[in-house]
Each structure stands twice: as structure tokens, then as C-alpha cells.
């Protein structure tokens, strides 16, 4: 009987139709869920991935914004001056950023020049931007330790081709219907929020610590760049003062040469002097005129270079208002100065911070061999609409990553990190020695320049007395103009020696202020500033 009933049901197609409908609906649901899973990325639990150590540059000295170098080259046998002072600003320190509304009345003091340099010099500005970049890198490294929260809203319409998926099943004609080759279109909505969090990752933690140390090193390097700005701008200002003093001396020498020329021409007119004497005096006056033009050219260039460093238009059409005469340097034993420099120099602190960053880099590389753990989850609603036919869905997954073998990558990362650490420790040790040497050299230059000033001052006094005696003899007709010209040249040389020795001494004091550290606040204790005459 049951067999007969089953045969009857097959005969009228009722059972077949019910089974096919159930199969189609089930297959459609499976395909729909598969499509939703692909769209949502819910095909399986999220796989955690361990962080990797971030390799640091081998050296902690980059980026290079340029340099400022003050030199006192020894030139024995060149007269009174045995030191040749010079300040060279290279790279970004030779330029500046133009202020939005520069307030400048055409008069520039030394303090104003240094303050403008600290505000607008391109070297300091570049290091300021480097600090911002390092701060961003530190926040990016911290992101690996922070939770990540995302939200998504998806509205999707689909139509599936069963034949394209390989479903070619055909029912007999007696079934009364056929299986469609296309399912849909149908639509669904998916609104979800997801959260992921690293629970245990020592590599990411040490990467963040390394970036923090790098940020501190960059901030300290920025302070050191400000010291260099003081040296560069202050040295350039002292160079302008010296150039103006040379011009004043040359103008006086030209006036004397013209007076001698006029006198010789008058004496030639009455037959008291030969034409050769007039020619010699005329040549000497021309030489003095050419020297004056050369010195004015040098002054204009120095003023343009100074303007470029402090954000002023590149022009020499401004006036400096300060003079920096000779003054003894502050009394401080050399050993005390060395100890002060080792405490205050921010570039030495920056080198130590760079070594600390490299140590954290080694720790991060070694931590690649340690397990890491993370969790991830999401919650949302899915359905044909938010208000109707929707249902909550969620996922929660925890991942424990056990590093077994990465093809030697971890060993390579450790080796790179150790090389960077060794290099930066060597640089820090060398900088420690370099600072000691710089302070000792500053004291040598100070002592030599102070002796030069004293000798040059005495030499100038003697030359001026000799010139006066020679003039008296010339006016008395005892000597010709050759001896007078020679005496005048000796005075000119003595004045140039005195100007150069004062410049060398002031530059040595400014260099010492930079080499001791904190130059923006301390340079006024080393230079005696007076209003220009």
C-alpha cells in the first residue's frame, strides 16, 4: 500500500514538485549566504599577523639641513694677524623663509638679526618640520597598539546565473515546471561595526618606543640647529662690522693719498717737486681708490648674505646699528667649560637618544620571535532593509600567532638593528670627544686672538706716530713722498690688523658660546655690544 501511494504521488508529480521547490530554495539560500559571506568577508575567522621590526637608518645624523662652520686658520708670518677668521653657512642655514609681513625699518641690530634668524632661518625651519614629521611617525607606530574601529554600510543587489555555476539539472516534463537558469534579482542591506585590538605584541611596542626616542632626538637636534643659527647669523653680523671698519680705514687712507697728491701737484706748479713725484702720488691715490671699491663690494656681499639668512630681502640697502669692540672673554676655567658643554650640548643628548632608539630597534627585532595575540570582532544587522526583515549578526575571533620559521627574516632584522646600534653608539662617543676638542680649540683661539689684539693695538699706535713724524719731515722738505707713502701704508696695514684681530676675538667668543650650548640665551654674556658710531 505505501508503495502504491508513493507511485501515485510520483505519477501526479506532487511529490516531485515539492522536492524540487525545497531543493531550489535551499540552493538559493546557500548561494545567497555564500555571496553575503564573500561580500562581508566572513568566510572565516580573521587571521592575526605579527608586527615586524621597523629598520632604522644606519646613522642618526640625517636629515642634513646644512652646516655652520667658524674657522680660525693659522697664518704665521702674515704680519700681526696669525689667525684668519671666517664663518661659512652652507645648505639650508644660508637661506631663510620670507615672513608674511616683514616689519623692518632699515636698521638692524645684532640682537634683532639673531632673533630674526631664529624665527626665519631655513636651517632651523627645516629641523622644525623634521620634528613634526618625527611626531607623525611616532603616532603612526603607536597606532599598531591602539584599537581599530570601523563601520560599513552596504546595499547590494544581485542576480545569479545557475547555469554559469555549472547547475544544468533538468526535470522531466512530467514534473510540471522547470528549474530557472537565473535566480533573482534580490537585494540585501548590511550595516556593521568592527573592532580589532592587538593584545600582545612586543615588536609593535618596541617599535613605538624606538619612534619616541627618535622624536626626542629630533627635538634636541632642532635646539642644536638654533645654536648654529646664532653662530651663523652672529658671525655674519660681526663680518659686516669688520667690513665697515675696513672701509672707514680705506676712506681715511684715500683722503690722505688725495691730500698728498694735491700737495705734490701744488709743489710741482712752483717747481719744487718733479713730475715723477706727482705721478707716484697719483698712482697711489688710484690704488687706494681701487682698494676702497673692492672693500665696498665685499661689504655689500656680506650684507646680502646676512639678509638672506634672516628673512630680509636680499639687499645691502640697510644699516647695522651695533658695534662690537674688544672686550675680555668671561673668566671660566677650561675644565669647567668642557664640563658645562658636556651637560648643555643638545646634539650630544640627541646622539644618546638616537642610541636609545637603536636599542629599542634591536629589542623590536628580537621580539619577532615571541608570540603575539590579537582579538577582532564585528556586530551588525543584515536583511532586506534596516526596519524590516533584518537580523543581528556578529563575529568574534581571537588569534594567537606563534612564529616558527620566517626564512631567516628575523635574524636579518636583528643583524640590521645591531649594526645601527653599533654605528650610533660610535657616533655618540665620537661626538663626546669632538665637543671636548672644540672647547679646547676655542680657548686656544681666544688666547691667540687676545694676544693679537694687544700687539695690533700697539703696532697701530707706533705706526700712527711714525706717520706723523714722516709728515713733519715731508712738509719740511727733508724727504720725498715715497717715504710718506710707505708710512701711510704701514698705518693702513696696522689698522687692518687691528680690525682683523678684534673680529677674530669676537668670533672666537661667539664660537665658544655655541660650543658650550644654549647659545640663543647665552651669547650676550660673551659679546660687548655698543651703538655704532
Residue-range definition of the domain harbouring residue 213: 66-94+102-132+204-366+408-531
Cβ of 4: how many Cβ atoms within 10 Å?
8
The answer to whether residue 123 is domain-embedded is: yes
Residue holding cell 540585501?
188
pLDDT in tens, 417-450: 999 999 999 999 999 999 999 999 999 999 999 9
pLDDT in tens, 312-335: 999 999 999 999 999 998 889 999
Report pLDDT for 244: 95
Mean pLDDT, residues 230-235 taken together: 97
Asked if residue 498 lies in contact with residue 246, where contact means CB atoms within 8 angstroms, the answer is no
Question: Which residue from 34, 393, 381, 394 is spatially nearest to 189, judged by alpha carbons?
Answer: 381
Which residues are bridge partners to 194 per DSSP?
150, 378
Is the predicted pLDDT of residue 28 greater than 50, yes or no? no
Is the predicted pLDDT of residue 116 greater than 90, yes or no? yes
The answer to whether residue 157 is domain-embedded is: no
How many separate domains does the chain show?
A: 1
User: What does pTM read for this prediction?
Assistant: 0.81
C-alpha 56/C-alpha 207 separation (Å) is 10
Report pLDDT for 85: 87
* Residue 30 confidence class, pLDDT cut points 50, 70, 90: very low
Report pLDDT for 327: 94
Report pLDDT for 62: 60
C-alpha 379/C-alpha 151 separation (Å) is 10
The answer to whether residue 73 is domain-embedded is: yes
* Residue 290 confidence class, pLDDT cut points 50, 70, 90: very high
Mean pLDDT, residues 245-260 taken together: 89
C-alpha 80/C-alpha 517 separation (Å) is 32
Burial class (CB in 10 A: 0-12, 13-18, 19+), 185: exposed
Provide the CA 341 distance to its chain's centre, in angstroms: 23
The grid cell for 351 is 646622539
The answer to whether residue 381 is domain-embedded is: no
* CATH (domain of 452): 1.20.1600.10
Report pLDDT for 403: 92
Report pLDDT for 100: 67
Report pLDDT for 81: 63
C-alpha 171/C-alpha 178 separation (Å) is 6
The answer to whether residue 167 is domain-embedded is: no
The grid cell for 305 is 648674505
The grid cell for 61 is 645624523
Question: Which residue from 523, 160, 473, 517 is spatially nearest to 341, judged by alpha carbons?
Answer: 517
Burial class (CB in 10 A: 0-12, 13-18, 19+), 389: exposed
The answer to whether residue 273 is domain-embedded is: yes
* Residue 409 confidence class, pLDDT cut points 50, 70, 90: very high
Mean pLDDT, residues 384-406 taken together: 87
Is the predicted pLDDT of residue 41 greater than 60, yes or no? no
Report pLDDT for 80: 66
Mean pLDDT, residues 408-420 taken together: 94
Mean pLDDT, residues 241-266 taken together: 89
The answer to whether residue 325 is domain-embedded is: yes
Asked if residue 160 lies in contact with residue 185, where contact means CB atoms within 8 angstroms, the answer is no
The answer to whether residue 395 is domain-embedded is: no
Question: Which residue from 366, 356, 411 is spatially nearest to 202, judged by alpha carbons?
Answer: 366
Is the predicted pLDDT of residue 224 greater than 60, yes or no? yes
Report pLDDT for 235: 96
Reduced to 3 states (helix: H, G, I; strand: E, B; else coil), residue 42 is coil
Average pLDDT of the chain?
A: 85
Amino acid at each position: 500500500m505505501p508503495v502504491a501511494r508513493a507511485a501515485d504521488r510520483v505519477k501526479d508529480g506532487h511529490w516531485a514538485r515539492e522536492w524540487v521547490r525545497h531543493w531550489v530554495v535551499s540552493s538559493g539560500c546557500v548561494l545567497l549566504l555564500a555571496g553575503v559571506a564573500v561580500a562581508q568577508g566572513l568566510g572565516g575567522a580573521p587571521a592575526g599577523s605579527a608586527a615586524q621590526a621597523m629598520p632604522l637608518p644606519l646613522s642618526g645624523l640625517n636629515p642634513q639641513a646644512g652646516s655652520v662652520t667658524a674657522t680660525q686658520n693659522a697664518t704665521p708670518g702674515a704680519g700681526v694677524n696669525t689667525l684668519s677668521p671666517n664663518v661659512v653657512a652652507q645648505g639650508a642655514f644660508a637661506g631663510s623663509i620670507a615672513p608674511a609681513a616683514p616689519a623692518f625699518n632699515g636698521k638692524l641690530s645684532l640682537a634683532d638679526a639673531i632673533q630674526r634668524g631664529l624665527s626665519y632661518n631655513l636651517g632651523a625651519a627645516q629641523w622644525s618640520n623634521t620634528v613634526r614629521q618625527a611626531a607623525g611617525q611616532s603616532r603612526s607606530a603607536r597606532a599598531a597598539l591602539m584599537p581599530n574601529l570601523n563601520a560599513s554600510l552596504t546595499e547590494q543587489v544581485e542576480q545569479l546565473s545557475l547555469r554559469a555555476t555549472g547547475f544544468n539539472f533538468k526535470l522531466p516534463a512530467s514534473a510540471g515546471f522547470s528549474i530557472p537558469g537565473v535566480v533573482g534579482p534580490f537585494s540585501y542591506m548590511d550595516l556593521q561595526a568592527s573592532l580589532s585590538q592587538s593584545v600582545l605584541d612586543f615588536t609593535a611596542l618596541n617599535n613605538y618606543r624606538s619612534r619616541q626616542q627618535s622624536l626626542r632626538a629630533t627635538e634636541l637636534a632642532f635646539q642644536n640647529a638654533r645654536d648654529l643659527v646664532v653662530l651663523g647669523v652672529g658671525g655674519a653680523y660681526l663680518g659686516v662690522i669688520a667690513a665697515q671698519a675696513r672701509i672707514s680705514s680705506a676712506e681715511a687712507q684715500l683722503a690722505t693719498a688725495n691730500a698728498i697728491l694735491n700737495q705734490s701737484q701744488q709743489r710741482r706748479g712752483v717747481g719744487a717737486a718733479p713730475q715723477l713725484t706727482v705721478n707716484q702720488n697719483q698712482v697711489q691715490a688710484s690704488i687706494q681708490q681701487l682698494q676702497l671699491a673692492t672693500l665696498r663690494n665685499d661689504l655689500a656681499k656680506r650684507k646680502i648674505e646676512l639678509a638672506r639668512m634672516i628673512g630680509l630681502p636680499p639687499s645691502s640697502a640697510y644699516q647695522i646699528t651695533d658695534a662690537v669692540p674688544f672686550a675680555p672673554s668671561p673668566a671660566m676655567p677650561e675644565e669647567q667649560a668642557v664640563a658645562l658643554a658636556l651637560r648643555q650640548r643638545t646634539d650630544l643628548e640627541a646622539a644618546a637618544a638616537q642610541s636609545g632608539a637603536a636599542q629599542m630597534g634591536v629589542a623590536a627585532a628580537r621580539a619577532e620571535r615571541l608570540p603575539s595575540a590579537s582579538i577582532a570582532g564585528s556586530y551588525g544587522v543584515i536583511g532586506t532593509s534596516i526596519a524590516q526583515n533584518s537580523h543581528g549578526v556578529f563575529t568574534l575571533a581571537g588569534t594567537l600567532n606563534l612564529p616558527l620559521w620566517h626564512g631567516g627574516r628575523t635574524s636579518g632584522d636583528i643583524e640590521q638593528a645591531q649594526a645601527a646600534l653599533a654605528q650610533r653608539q660610535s657616533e655618540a662617543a665620537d661626538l663626546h670627544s669632538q665637543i671636548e676638542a672644540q672647547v679646547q680649540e676655542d680657548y686656544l683661539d681666544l688666547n691667540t686672538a687676545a694676544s693679537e689684539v694687544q700687539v695690533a693695538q700697539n703696532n697701530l699706535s707706533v705706526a700712527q706716530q711714525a706717520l706723523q713724524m714722516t709728515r713733519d719731515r715731508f712738509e719740511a722738505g727733508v724727504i720725498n713722498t715715497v717715504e710718506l707713502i710707505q708710512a701711510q701704508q704701514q698705518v693702513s696695514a696696522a689698522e687692518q690688523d687691528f680690525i682683523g684681530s678684534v673680529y677674530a676675538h669676537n668670533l672666537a667668543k661667539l664660537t665658544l658660546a655655541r660650543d658650550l650650548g644654549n647659545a640663543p640665551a647665552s651669547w650676550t654674556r660673551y659679546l660687548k655690544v655698543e651703538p655704532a658710531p
